[in-house]
Amino acid sequence: MINNIIVRLSIWSTLLLAFFWQASTVSAQEVSLEQLSLSSAYEYLEGRYPALQNEDLWRRILAEQSAKIQAESKPSLYWKTDARLQSESIQLEQPEGSTFPLEINQPLVTAQTYLEGNYLLLDGGLEDARQTALAAETAVQLQQVEVDRFQLQERVNQLFLRFSSLRSQAALFEFSLTDITSRIEQAQAAVDNGVLLPSELSKLQVREKELLAQQSSIEYQIEGTRKSLEDLLGVALNPEVELVYPTLPDALALPTIDRPEHELFRRQQTAILAQEALIDVDKRPKLNLFAQAGVGYPNPLNLLDSDPAPYALVGAGLSWKLLDWKKSEREKEILTLQALQVQNQQATFDFNLQQQEANYRAEIQRLRAQMQSDQEIIELRAIILEQSAAQLEEGVITTAEYLSQSTAELSARQQLNIHEIQLLQLQLNFWNTRGGQQ
């Protein structure tokens, strides 16, 4: 009875703990960010992007391959067995009538089982050269991960800018809707007093519905962009999340070029030139020690013994390539040419980056001039709209004429918003292209 009670209490305790754990997990997942900076967004994406997980794998591969090279340089021990059936063997019989005592009669079947040990005592620096080449190649792969990480930033930039642009447009529609709503209230009063035709009121109401439809479309796009950003970063974002951009200097202040590709090019050249050591090693003398111990039938060391017998032998072998017909020189020349190819790739990369400067400066100046013009147009449109509103109240102009001025004023504000986002996008992408810290 007591055991049953204890078991039931344990089950209920487990269920309660599971419930509270699940509830805490759900609540943690439901927590959404109120603020998101561009640099934090980069970090979130880096933690999720599969290709960036290769960095740890490459380090582990390096460790395993390095250990493998070390293991290959240690003494080796094999147990070998072989057997053969020959069509003929050594047969030396005593001639008839001769007193010569030597007689050899080797069997057609031979068999051996033995332990064999080998040790490369002098490898000419082969192990060190292999380790150096391996480390250089792994460094290339690790830097490629850094290049991949850097190239992710532009994807985040695009979603950030789209989010901000849509929000700005939504705010402009809200501003216009507030104005139209006040005009509708005034027109309704005028219709009620019989001083305005109902058709004029209907024109305002139609414009209001058009603005509401456009605002609704913008809100759907905002929500879609927010969801895309959530999916990309793997975080929950509050619908009113504040996007924080880095503080950038003046747009015409060019950042120095600091791209991870430069280090990648350098490591690629190092990896290529590291192969030269392997070429040199191939020409150096190598000393190998070996030993065998086992049983053979017939005795493998004594020609006169045709019975099974144990045996042992030790020895050393020296190899030294004295002539390779300039093979090593050609291999080194190939490596030098490959290194020059990488150098040309880097020069081309830098050339393309430098060519962007003139176009960037021209675009900055164009957008700034356009924004100044936009601002002047907005101010004039605001004055005209204010005058049109007064004329509408006095019945000097029609509702259609007022709506035309209202639409033009909204369009001017939208143009300024578009150019502001384009300027920010241009600067962010240019800094990203040159590797400027954000």
Mapped to the 3 state alphabet, what secondary structure does 332-396 carry? HHHHHHHHHHHHHHHHHHHHHHHHHHHHHHHHHHHHHHHHHHHHHHHHHHHHHHHHHHHHHHHCC
**338-393 pLDDT per residue, tens:** 999 999 999 999 999 888 888 889 999 999 999 999 999 999 999 999 998 888 88
Asked if pLDDT for residue 114 goes beyond 60, the answer is yes
Say if residue 346 is in the same domain as residue 421.
yes
DSSP state, 88?
-
Residue 23 lies in a domain: no
Is residue 276 domain-resident?
Answer: yes
β partners of residue 286: 319
* Domain shared by 173 and 310, yes or no: no
Are 262 and 364 in the same domain?
yes
Tokens of 398: 């029609």
- How far, rounded to the nearest angstrom, does the alpha carbon of residue 312 sit from its chain's CA centroid? 58
The model's pLDDT over 222-274, given as tens digits with 9 standing for 90+, comes to 999 999 999 989 999 999 999 898 887 777 777 788 889 999 999 999 999 99
pLDDT at 97: 63
- Based on the domain organization, do 94 and 196 belong to the same domain? no
pLDDT of residue 95: 66
216 with 332, same domain: the answer is: yes
Cis peptide upstream of residue 298 (ω within 30 degrees of 0) = yes
Assigned domain for 46 exists: yes
Q: Is the dihedral of CA 218, 219, 222, 227 positive or negative?
A: negative
Q: Residues near 59 by Cβ (< 8 Å), separated by ≥ 6?
A: 138, 142
Work out whether the CA dihedral 340, 344, 350, 351 comes out positive or negative.
positive
- At 312, which CATH number? 2.20.200
Neighbours of 423 (CB within 10 A): 18
Question: Residue 225: helix, strand or coil by DSSP?
Answer: helix
Whole-number pLDDT of residue 6: 40
**DSSP 3-state of 326:** coil
CATH number of the domain where residue 197 is located: 1.20.1600.10
- Looking at the structure, do residues 353 and 248 belong to the same domain, yes or no? yes
Answer whether residue 32 is part of any domain.
no
Q: Burial-class residue 276 by CB neighbours within 10 Å (0-12, 13-18, 19+).
A: middle
Does the residue 235 lie in any domain?
yes
The predicted structure's pLDDT at residue 99: 62
Q: Is 372 contained in some domain?
A: yes
Q: Do 361 and 423 lie in a common domain?
A: yes
Question: Could you tell me if 261 and 202 lie in one domain?
Answer: yes
According to DSSP, the residues that pair with 48 across neighbouring strands are none
* pLDDT at 438 > cutoff 50: no
Residues 81 and 192 both lie in one domain: no
Domain stop point among 274, 297, 319: 319
Residues with Cβ within 8 Å of 40's Cβ and at least 6 positions away in sequence, in order, are: none
pLDDT over threshold 90, residue 436: no
Residue 419 placed within a domain? yes
| pLDDT tens figures, 183-217 | 888 888 878 887 777 888 888 889 889 889 988 99
Q: Is residue 56 located within the same domain as residue 196?
A: yes
pTM, rounded to two decimals:
0.74
Please check whether residues 89 and 157 belong to one and the same domain: no
pLDDT beyond 60 at 26? no
Angle separating helix axes 198-233 and 399-434, nearest 10 degrees: 20
Residues 179 and 193 occupy one common structural domain: yes
pLDDT at 20: 42
Domain of residue 60: give its range. 38-73+124-285+326-434
User: Is residue 347 a part of any domain in this protein?
Assistant: yes
Give me the number of domains the chain comprises: 2
Amino acid at position 284, single letter? R
